[in-house]
Amino acid sequence: MSEHSSAAGQTCTISLELNGERRELQVQPWTTLLDLLRDQLGLTGTKKGCDHGQCGACTVLLDGRRINSCLTLAVMHDGASLTTIEGLASAEALHPLQAAFVKHDAFQCGYCTPGQICSAAGLAAENRASSRDEIREHMSGNLCRCGAYPNILAAIEDALPALRGQEGAQ
Amino acid sequence: MTPFSYQRPERIDQAIALHGPDSRYIAGGTNLLDLMKENVLQPGQLIDINGLPLREIEQTAEGGLRIGALVSNADLAWHPQIEQRYPLLSKAILAGASPQLRNMASTGGNLLQRTRCYYFYDTATPCNKREPGSGCSARDGRNRIHAILGASEHCVAVHPSDMCVALAALDARVHVEGPHGKRRLELVDFHRLPGDQPQQDNVLVEGELITAIELPVEGFASHCAYLKVRDRASYAFALVSVAAALEMDGDVIRRARIALGGVAHKPWRIEEAEDQLSGKRAEAGCFAAAAERLLQGAQPLADNAFKIDLVHRAIVRALTEAAGGTV
């Protein structure tokens, strides 16, 4: 049995590599990964939209793969590596997707943007979508209620070659 | 969410031993946590099975594949053996949910996901599945998305999975392990019709855990199609779906498999409809006759009579596409 087991009401200790930094954290079993980020760690870049896995605003990269942080418990991810929107840019430069979203004006209110960008980063790593139709299909888990889809699509399409180059260089 | 205790065992026997009447196993959690947030489920204990050794995809002795219950939907859909030998399964998985959810959701959990009937989710309304004996709000309420086959006066919910429709067509088997040992079930016998016990979606008994899904050798790789009809182009549950798989000899059908989603409490298969296609030339007439047989006894509700025509046409189209060769 792992040491993360807990009786009702007890907290568990987990270790997360969060945006490149190892963190020891105390969590209650029912704390979602999203609530850990926003409420406990003050990382409010990751947004709570529907809180039911339907809108994608809470998308983060867990061990490099995009997931809905609202539909998973923090306690389930001891030892994992987590990248949020706060961890994408380097000290000197925006992430290519961030730069492309600015260039293409790929937002209106901006609330869905962190999730859109993290999701697109996951899409690039999966390497399963290239054409506009494929990108649309593979971004269907991220809703934009302002309807900025044409520019979001243009931004992702524009950034994909650079991201693939990055992958290849690593 | 109501507070609960949390355990993460590392062995299957430990997980089963921990399981009690108030427990739930959690794998991907995408449906369970949603239901817990909605107060539809309030388990006192979650048993996290992600530490169990159930992530392999291996060749079986007979030449099929054994898929560990914890393999994610994305990993399964994109596994080279699945894409090459069982493209029907790959297509069905990729037709469901979103990329984020497919990265989280497990193979076993996909079988165990609950209906998306609005009344099942709405704790302010009666629902026999959520609260046995309270009544069915859908039967005389809004029932556009509900069942046209195999329903009962107690429940008209449909099973929401795309993956299971393909698994039904592929003659998949389900391996389970529980307090009374191991057993192996045909996928078509795993889910049940609602009858007077709609609270039971499947035949698992308390404490039983899905450990693997087994695929037989034949994957119908060269002649299959998964057709899903829904209210928007992507990321929506099926109104109806059809998994069609054919073994062809020129333009003559040797064997056929047809499973329907979105029409019943379980993936819908009628062997007679498949058998009557054997030896026939692949053309619209015999496909329509198979559709008629599959839909025999269909009973629409106030809002969903459209499903009968829709699924009839979808069956003919899916079979036509499959006969033309897997795209």
User: Domain range for residue A67?
Assistant: 12-86
pLDDT tens track for B218-227 = 999 999 999 9
Is B308's pLDDT higher than 90? yes
Q: Which of A151-165, B102-116, B212-226, B287-301 has the lowest mean pLDDT?
A: A151-165
**Which one of B50, B78, B234 has the shortest CB-CB distance to A140?**
B234
Q: Which of A8, A28, A72 sits opposite B104 (nearest CB)?
A: A72
* Domain membership flag for residue B129: no
Please state, rounded to an integer, the average pLDDT across all residues of chain A.
94
pLDDT exceeds 60 at position A169: no
Is the Cβ of A65 closer than 8 Å to some Cβ of chain B?
yes
Flag whether A3 is in a domain: no
Q: Is B200 on the interface with A (CB under 8 A)?
A: no
Is the CB of A72 inside 8 Å of chain B's CB atoms? yes
So what's the pLDDT on residue A8? 60
Average pLDDT over residues A123-148: 97
Q: CA-nearest residue of chain A to B34?
A: A52
Number of domains in chain A: 2
Residue A7 lies inside a defined structural domain of this protein: no
Q: What is the mean pLDDT of residues A58-82?
A: 98
ipTM, 2 decimals? 0.96
B246 in a domain, yes or no?
Answer: yes
Interface test with A, best of B30, B45, B100 (most A CBs within 10 A): B100
One domain for residues A107 and A160: yes
CATH number at residue B10: 3.30.43.10
**Would residue B70 count as lying in a domain?**
no
Q: What is the CATH number of the domain that holds B243?
A: 3.30.390.50
Same domain, A103 and A159: yes
Least Cα separation, residue B281 to chain A (angstroms):
35
Q: Is A109 on the interface with B (CB under 8 A)?
A: no
**What is the domain count for chain B?**
2
Picking from B2, B44, B235, the nearest residue to A141 by CB comes out as B235
Residue A76, chain B, CB below 8 Å: the answer is yes
Tokens of B87: 């493209």
Q: What is the pLDDT of residue A5?
A: 67
Angle, CA of B156, B160 and B163, to the nearest 5°: 140
Question: Is residue A141 assigned to a domain?
Answer: yes
Q: What CATH number does residue A49 fall under?
A: 3.10.20.30
Q: Which of B29, B50, B71 is the last residue of a domain?
A: B50
Q: Are residues A124 and A60 both part of a single domain?
A: no
| Domain-ending residue, one of A36, A58, A86 | A86
> Is B41 within a domain?
yes
pLDDT at A10 (0 to 100): 81
Nearest to A1 among B7, B26, B101 (CB): B7
The reported pLDDT for the residue numbered A72 is: 98
Residue B244 lies in a domain: yes
Q: Does residue B115 form part of some domain?
A: no
**pLDDT > 90? residue B120:** yes
- Residues of chain B neighbouring A5 (CB-CB closer than 8 A): 5-8
Tell me the backbone φ, ψ of residue B203, rounded to 5 degrees. -95, 10
Q: How far apart are CA B210 and CA B208, in angstroms?
A: 7
In a domain, A25, yes or no: yes
Quick one: A74 and A108 in the same domain? no
3-state secondary structure of B219: coil
What tokens were used for B152?
């009962």
Say which residue the tokens 């064997």 belong to: B255
Of A86, A117, A144, the residue at which a domain comes to its end is A86
Of A92, A88, A84, which Cα lies nearest the Cα of A101?
A: A88
Find the CATH number of the domain harbouring A148. Answer: 1.10.150.120
| CB spacing of A71 vs B104 below 8 angstroms | yes
The more confidently predicted of residues A10 and A116 is A116
Q: Which of A86, A114, A135 is the last residue of a domain?
A: A86
Cβ contact (<8 Å) for B103 and A122?
Answer: yes
The pLDDT value recorded for residue B318 is 98
Q: Which residue of B has its CA nearest to A142?
A: B98
pLDDT value at B63 more than 70: yes
Provide the shortest C-alpha distance from residue B160 to chain A (in Å): 15
Size of interface A-B (CB pairs under 8 A): 110
DSSP-derived secondary structure for A43-106:
-TTS--SSSSSSS-TTEEEETTEEEEGGGSBGGGGTT-EEE-GGGTS-SSS--HHHHHHHHTT-
Q: What is the CA radius of gyration of chain A?
A: 16
Q: What is the pLDDT of residues A114-134, one digit of tens each?
A: 999 999 999 999 999 999 999
Is the residue at A1 inside a domain?
A: no
Query: Does any CB of chain A come closer than 8 Å to the CB of residue B121?
Result: no
Averaged pLDDT of chain B = 98
| Smallest CA–CA distance from A119 into chain B, residue | B100
Per-residue H/E/C for B84-110: HHCHHHHHHHHCCCCHHHHHHCEHHHH
Q: What is the pLDDT of residue A167?
A: 55
Query: Is residue A124 in some structural domain?
Result: yes
Give the CA distances from residue A125 to residues A19, A132, A164, B6, B139, in Å, rounded to whole numbers and listed in that order: 17, 17, 8, 32, 45
Residue A103 lies in a domain: yes
- Decide if B303 is inside a domain: yes
A149 touches chain B (CB under 8 A): no
Rounded to 5, what percent of chain A is helix, strand, coil?
40, 15, 45
User: Touching check for A68 and chain B: CB below 8 Å?
Assistant: yes
If one counts every other C-beta atom within 10 angstroms of the C-beta of residue B282, the result is 20
- CB distance A141–B100 less than 8 Å? yes
Q: Is A6 in CB contact (< 8 Å) with chain B?
A: yes
> What distances in angstroms separate CA B322 from CA B201, B243, B317, one per listed residue?
30, 9, 9
Task: Enter the DSSP assignment of A158.
Answer: H
Q: Is residue A66 part of a domain?
A: yes
Domain housing B30:
5-50
pLDDT of residue B247: 98
The predicted pLDDT at position A164 comes to 84
pLDDT of residue B272: 98
pLDDT level of residue A3 (50, 70, 90 thresholds): low
**Torsion angle defined by CA atoms of residues B131, B268, B49 and B15, in that order, rounded to the nearest 10 degrees:** 70
Q: So what's the pLDDT on residue A170?
A: 40
